């Protein structure tokens, strides 16, 4: 497999492999050993969905040293994570909605890990065997609420606050990828996943010692420095090396 997307036509929802702008529908379980139709399916009339429908979305915070300094927070000694509501997910092309006009709301570009097999208590060395692939994400955050509360789930779980996709790339090394965010064409975040304090395998291992991870679960691995406020009308684009760009607008 390579780039895997999830699509809807009428009432039908299906996964497909995306190759050179063509779709090849998947037959069988996307997390098992699926086969693919040889005849491509036209994109016309299809709606692109988030590439997976997770039981949970897990965010890792302060996982880039430059962002920890930007937030005036000490570097964590172990991964800092919390749960984010799956109802906050939106696909590529959908609109991010700001719930309170007077609040500051920020963009945060992130590399997301998608789990492929049920896993509990895995070591970092073995973690790759349980990862389905990687995709682009945003952890949109209401800073007004976040700064007023001791936990962050509410500030980050509003509907539309987790853009994800468009596809899961199943054949990529996640440890040396450029990660960028463009706001209305202007580069705002620019880093590399090699700067992660806890890399993708470390994060999967640590979280799996605290809870069972299921196929399709999504882990957001953290954002680099350069986070900033969004406004209605903004166009936000997450570009991660080797992945299809994730583009969303704001209203």
Residue 1 has pLDDT above 80, yes or no: no
Query: What pLDDT is attached to residue 171?
Result: 95
Q: Are residues 31 and 130 in the same domain?
A: no
Q: In CATH, what number is assigned to the domain containing residue 23?
A: 2.30.30
Position with higher pLDDT, 71 vs 1: 71
pTM: 0.96
Query: What pLDDT is attached to residue 72?
Result: 85
Q: Are residues 29 and 136 in the same domain?
A: no
Do residues 138 and 236 lie in contact, with contact meaning Cβ atoms separated by under 8 Å? yes
Enter the DSSP assignment of 164.
Answer: E
Q: Are residues 24 and 132 in the same domain?
A: no
Q: Can you tell me the mean pLDDT for 102-117? A: 98
* Domain carrying residue 10: 3-48
Closest by CA to 221, choosing from 188, 196, 186, is: 196
Mind listing the pLDDT tens digit for each residue in 8-32? 999 999 999 999 889 999 999 999 9
Q: Are residues 72 and 12 in the same domain?
A: no
Q: Are residues 139 and 19 in the same domain?
A: no
Do residues 95 and 234 lie in contact, with contact meaning Cβ atoms separated by under 8 Å? no
Quote the number of domains for the chain: 2
Do residues 245 and 125 lie in contact, with contact meaning Cβ atoms separated by under 8 Å? no
Mind listing the pLDDT tens digit for each residue in 131-189? 999 999 999 999 999 999 999 999 999 999 999 999 999 999 999 999 999 999 999 99
Q: Can you tell me the mean pLDDT for 119-125? A: 98
Q: Are residues 41 and 149 in the same domain?
A: no
Q: Are residues 74 and 189 in the same domain?
A: yes
- Of the three residues 48, 69, 85, the one that is the final residue of a domain is 48
Q: In CATH, what number is assigned to the domain containing residue 95?
A: 3.90.850.10
């Amino acid at each position: 497999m390579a780039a895997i997307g999830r699509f809807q036509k009428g009432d039908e929802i299906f996964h497909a492999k995306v190759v050179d702008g063509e779709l090849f529908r998947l037959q069988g379980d996307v997390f098992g050993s699926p086969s693919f139709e040889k005849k491509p399916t036209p994109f016309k009339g299809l709606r692109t969905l988030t590439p997976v429908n997770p039981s949970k979305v897990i965010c890792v915070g302060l996982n880039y040293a430059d962002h920890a300094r930007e937030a005036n927070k000490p570097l964590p000694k172990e991964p800092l994570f919390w749960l984010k509501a799956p109802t906050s997910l939106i696909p590529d092309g959908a609109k991010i909605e700001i719930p309170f006009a007077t609040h500051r709301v920020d963009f945060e570009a992130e590399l997301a890990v998608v789990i492929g097999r049920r896993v509990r208590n895995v070591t970092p060395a073995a973690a790759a065997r349980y990862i389905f692939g990687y995709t682009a994400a945003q952890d949109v955050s209401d800073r007004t609420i976040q700064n007023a509360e001791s936990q962050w789930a509410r500030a980050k779980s509003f509907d539309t606050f987790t853009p994800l996709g468009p596809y899961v790339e199943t054949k990529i090394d996640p440890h040396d990828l450029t990660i960028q965010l463009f706001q209305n064409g202007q580069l705002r975040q620019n880093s590399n996943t090699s700067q992660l304090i806890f890399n993708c395998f470390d994060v999967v291992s640590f979280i799996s010692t605290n809870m069972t991870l299921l196929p399709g679960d999504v882990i957001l691995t953290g954002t680099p420095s350069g986070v900033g406020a969004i406004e209605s009308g903004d166009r936000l684009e997450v570009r991660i090396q080797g992945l299809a760009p994730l583009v969303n607008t704001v209203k």
